[in-house]
Structure 1
Amino acid sequence: MNITYRRGGPEDAAELDRIFDTVFCDTFGHLYRAEDLNEFLTSFGIEDWRAQLQDPRFAVQIAEAGGRAAGFAKIGPLKLPIENERPAVLLDQLYVLKEHHGAGIARDLMDWVFDEARRRCAEDIYLTVFIDNHRARRFYDRFGFEPVGRYDFMVGKHVDEDVIMRKAL
């Protein structure tokens, strides 16, 4: 299947929200009480996506397979509890629908993240990843991200331990 890439815009808000919810639930949904998962998923919706897609501090790259969105990467301003003296961006999300795993989409999206971060004159890229998400950790390790701290990631009232990772550009 032919994979194409394009920049996301406000008109993509509903589709990005759908992909985010689908991938999050497929990957982590079994870990949470229904009310915590629902609170988390409804805390950021289509209007929030639209606002970020109109905000120049954020950028989203969408992967499409057969003309349908298959995944995306989103970068934005650094908002983690970490001291950083150099220009930096946050890789806020990199999500690929399960049926497209193994197609090289995540790798291509990560290449875009590096290019976009450099275009923004960032010297560091940060991200957080759930401590037990071993597949994602291996992926980020391959790209040279290193653990630099921990982060409490809230899903409703449930606290997950995330690892803060950094890559110097």
Structure 2
Amino acid sequence: MIAFRDAVVADADILCELARRTFSDTFGHLYDPGDLAAFLATHTPERWRNELADPAFAIRLAEQDGSAIGYAKLGPPSLPFEPRGASIELRQFYLLAPAQGTGAAQDMMAWVLDTARGRGADNLYLSVFVDNHRARRFYARHGFERIGEYGFMVGNHRDTDDVMRLTL
């Protein structure tokens, strides 16, 4: 059974480790170890505590048998583009591999959409790695449309991410 709850400041260490693990598991094989280490070093408990304490952010945690297995993070737009109207950004959306295909992603996306609307957003933005075909299909099924691209840095390595928008 997968349970969901709003993350709190006390979850900073858990989210820091989960963010590092999910990114490494999903993309770590693509990068030079030094670039990956530099990127993962930006995920600190202090940064997580600051975001968890900031009312501009909303973070949902997925747990199974008392262990964190995924999370979704909404926050103010940060991508290098001019957002339209009242906007919010899906900053991160990750599940550990064993939780993928369980329906947990659908439940988390329902929370994302409800929360974005509840915060008065007219538009929801996100970025996704161009070669992450599974995630791109998932977002497209939820109505997100590609509106551009930008360079996502992992250490000194530049990836191309698609910027996507959903009109709420």
Distance in 2, matches of 1:88 and 1:16, equals 24
2:109 maps to a residue whose letter is M
Match of residue 9 from structure 2 = 10
Cα deviation for residue 85 of structure 1 reads 3.0
Match of residue 34 from structure 2 = 35
Distance in 1, matches of 2:94 and 2:157, equals 21
Distance in 1, matches of 2:37 and 2:79, equals 24
Spell out the pairing of 1:128-143 with structure 2 (5 A cutoff).
128-143=127-142
Distance in 1, matches of 2:146 and 2:101, equals 25
Match of residue 60 from structure 2 = 61
Distance in 2, matches of 1:123 and 1:142, equals 19
TM-score (norm 1): 0.97
Cα deviation for residue 44 of structure 1 reads 2.5
Where 2:120 maps in the other structure, the secondary structure is: coil
Where 1:103 maps in the other structure, the secondary structure is: coil
How big is each residue's C-alpha offset from its partner over 1:96-117, in whole Å with a ceiling of 9 and x where there is no partner? 0111111111111110000100
Where 2:83 maps in the other structure, the secondary structure is: coil
How big is each residue's C-alpha offset from its partner over 1:6-25, in whole Å with a ceiling of 9 and x where there is no partner? 10011111111111111111
Cα deviation for residue 3 of structure 1 reads 1.3
How big is each residue's C-alpha offset from its partner over 1:51-83, in whole Å with a ceiling of 9 and x where there is no partner? 000000001011111122111100000011212
Given the alignment of the two structures, is residue 153 of structure 1 paired with residue 152 of structure 2, yes or no? Answer: yes
1:140 maps to a residue whose letter is Y
2:25 maps to a residue whose letter is D
1:137 maps to a residue whose letter is R
TM-score (norm 2): 0.98
Distance in 2, matches of 1:97 and 1:85, equals 32
Where 1:50 maps in the other structure, the secondary structure is: helix
How big is each residue's C-alpha offset from its partner over 1:136-167, in whole Å with a ceiling of 9 and x where there is no partner? 00110110000001011000000000000000
Match of residue 96 from structure 2 = 97
1:7 maps to a residue whose letter is D
2:15 maps to a residue whose letter is L
Whether the 8 Å contact between 2:77 and 2:83 is mirrored in structure 1 is no
Distance in 2, matches of 1:138 and 1:118, equals 22
Match of residue 48 from structure 2 = 49
Match of residue 123 from structure 2 = 124
Query: Gaps spanning 5+ residues in structure 1: where?
Result: none
Distance in 2, matches of 1:141 and 1:19, equals 25
Whether the 8 Å contact between 2:6 and 2:58 is mirrored in structure 1 is yes
